[in-house]
Chain A
């Protein structure tokens, strides 16, 4: 089992972030939500590791307060 990597891991992170924003550009909020949902599922499938996915879900669920 591989642990969830929470260290910086994307080369050219500004390029990625810009591409992510560009993917949402011009979409309605509903379309954007759909895009995000599909993206989550695609990335989850790519990761594959069940335990890692559980850790990712737990990390994303942490919020302030």
Chain B
């Protein structure tokens, strides 16, 4: 079994499993195909719930290369639910300022203006291997505490047979093949998903006629750039039709050159050629080491459905977007956030199997939003007709003097959490409260003295009452819901009030284990909330 890529960290070396010595295939509740960020996050979600999960990866650890570098607040909040968020922020680079240049002139700058009163920043930059490492460290910690997580390196799934209530897997290892069964198989095997190919499933959308060269470099001397996102349209250094510069930890900078469609990839990837572009961009006096480089093309695609019987797809295997906007890994984490609790409830007999269909509808909604936004950014960055380019250049030219044109400049619309408007799990909005916390929304964080709100809403159904009475817990159709009783007085900054009540004097929220709002009303009405619980778990 040859590796297809170089490893940064061999964190799950092959070990023979007892399953390989059984006469009949062992059946597991959940098998995850792929040990990347989405696969490991799935293992953390299920493992924390006590649901046994086996991750199979055809390699033995984390792949080399910075790859995804920009992680959003919602993604970090999800990682925090899994106990892996804090080391990410400690290591990551927090940034808020961005500058946009056209032909070397700065046309304007923007500030993400992060709202106060959130535990996590709007964005951090962090090389993907760190992101993966912190989650695997957390998986090891959970395993030590007895969580039923297994990660098997050099276990390659070569064939799958989908039955009505399980999937049969042919797994190849350095010791030869063995068979496994899974009640549910989750494909987290990346953009070129072998699982998708084995099942002959379509992956359709747009391929953009352009390619980009990533060069991650470590500065040695000669350059002091601030921790900001700088984006050049048509820079005169000529190394690319556009260029992006963004800081990562360890003094590493991401440089991204738009180099056109008809390029000789082999030639472009030669170090001397990459250095020629970098030198033209940075100037000859800057000294740097090359850390990682890659050429990629844009695709915006998704599967028609993320569920095929007992096989589910998540992350890049299910949907792929262009990188501007940081909507790839960040949306994969939101897939897991959405799927984990639903799968846990179905496996524990607390919800009907049809609840899994709402993973498909809600996350297809999320994927479509990401594809729409990243397609628009790509159309702006790489205009595909003469008129499209003329309009784009006019927007850039106008944006220098006229404020109105600046919101039209699109170098990436940064990932924001998806709101599941119209989901069958939502109950009708019965509170005249802020739109940002309507049913379907991801709960915004709020300070509670020295603590924050979101960690109190993790992994279980919660009845959040703000200046309203309710029982301490209710049980409906086997679902335990515990109350979190708060008052606007608990938060002197009034963020809790602004985000959850607006002008209303009180509010009661039913919040899902993934911290999305299922229902809200001005006060506790037992029948209404019991119905909302049934609805939020696919029982109505």
Contacts and interface: CB of A to CB of B under 8 A. Distances in A.
A14 B403 contact: no
Interface in B380-405: 380, 385-388, 391, 395, 397, 400-404
Given A17-B376, A17-B410, A21-B391, A7 B403 contact: yes
Interface in A22-60: 24-25, 27, 29, 32, 36, 59
Nearest to B380: A17
B406 interface: yes
Nearest to A25: B385
A24 B388 contact: yes
Contacts of A13: 407-408
A2 interface: no
A11 B386 CA distance: 26
A8 B406 CA distance: 8
A8 B404 contact: yes
B406 to A, nearest CB: 7
Contacts of B410: 14, 17
B353 interface: no
Contacts of B407: 8, 13
B391 A6 contact: no
Contacts of A17: 376, 380, 395, 408, 410
A29 B387 CA distance: 7
Contacts of B379: 18, 21
B413 interface: yes
Contacts of B373: 14
Of the listed residues A8, A9, A21, the one surrounded by the most CB atoms of chain B closer than 10 A to its CB is: A21
A61 B400 CA distance: 14
Given A17-B408, A24-B387, A8 B397 contact: no
Nearest to B402: A6
| Interface class of chain B by DSSP | helix
Nearest to A14: B376
Nearest to B385: A24
Nearest to B375: A18
Nearest to A17: B408
Contacts of B397: 63-64
Contacts of A29: 386-387
A25 B407 CA distance: 22
Contacts of A62: 401
Given A21-B388, A25-B385, A29-B386, A9 B376 contact: no
Nearest to A27: B387
A14 B413 contact: yes
Contacts of A5: 404
B402 A59 contact: yes
B246 to A, nearest CB: 22
Contacts of A20: 391
A20 B397 CA distance: 18
A65 B373 CA distance: 34
A25 B77 CA distance: 40
Contacts of B385: 24-25, 32
B50 to A, nearest CB: 43
26 contacts: A5-B404, A6-B403, A6-B404, A7-B403, A8-B404, A8-B406, A14-B373, A14-B376, A17-B376, A17-B395, A17-B410, A18-B379, A21-B379, A21-B388, A21-B391, A24-B385, A24-B388, A24-B391, A29-B387, A32-B385, A32-B386, A32-B387, A36-B387, A59-B401, A63-B397, A64-B400
Given A21-B379, A24-B388, A64-B400, 10 more contacts: A6-B402, A8-B403, A10-B404, A14-B373, A17-B395, A21-B388, A21-B391, A29-B387, A32-B387, A59-B402
10 interchain residue pairs of minimum CB distance? A32-B387, A6-B402, A24-B387, A13-B407, A8-B404, A8-B407, A6-B404, A7-B403, A29-B386, A14-B376
